[in-house]
Amino acid sequence: MKIQRRNKANPEFSLAAMTDVILLMLIFFMITSSAANQSAIDVKLPKAGAVDDNIPNPLTVSIKPDGSYFVDDIPVAKDQLEATIVNKLTGQTNKSFTIRADENTMHKDVVFAMEIAEKNKFNIAIATVKDK
């Protein structure tokens, strides 16, 4: 007499659960990567009417209203600013940096950072916020 089993294991594997996990991971990494580029130095950026797309730069120079300089959130003395920028951009393919100056920062402090870029042939971007 032949005995048959009623419940046979189904060897098929459903990818629906794995697809959901991959999609959630993709969303998580997209959101965290956009927030990762924010600087910890609190400066109030000036407003601009026409804002182009952001071009990410590997280096950020922040300038506070009191004239203090920060390179990638690390305080740097004014006389050491040029050496720090040149050292950080040595070996980079994109030799550029972003100037994040507070809207109340004196013009001479911003021009000082711009002169460093001009002297060393670096490209610069000036961070602003979009005018509403």
Closest among 55, 89, 51, 47 to 72, alpha carbons compared? 89
β-bridge mates for residue 107, sequence order = none
Alpha helices for 6-106 (secondary structure H): 16-35, 81-89
Q: What is the pLDDT along the chain (132 residues), one digit of tens a residue?
A: 677 666 776 667 777 888 888 999 999 888 877 666 566 666 676 666 655 555 566 788 999 999 899 998 899 999 999 999 999 888 888 788 889 888 888 889 999 999 998 998 888 888 877 766
**Amino acid (one-letter) located at 1:** M
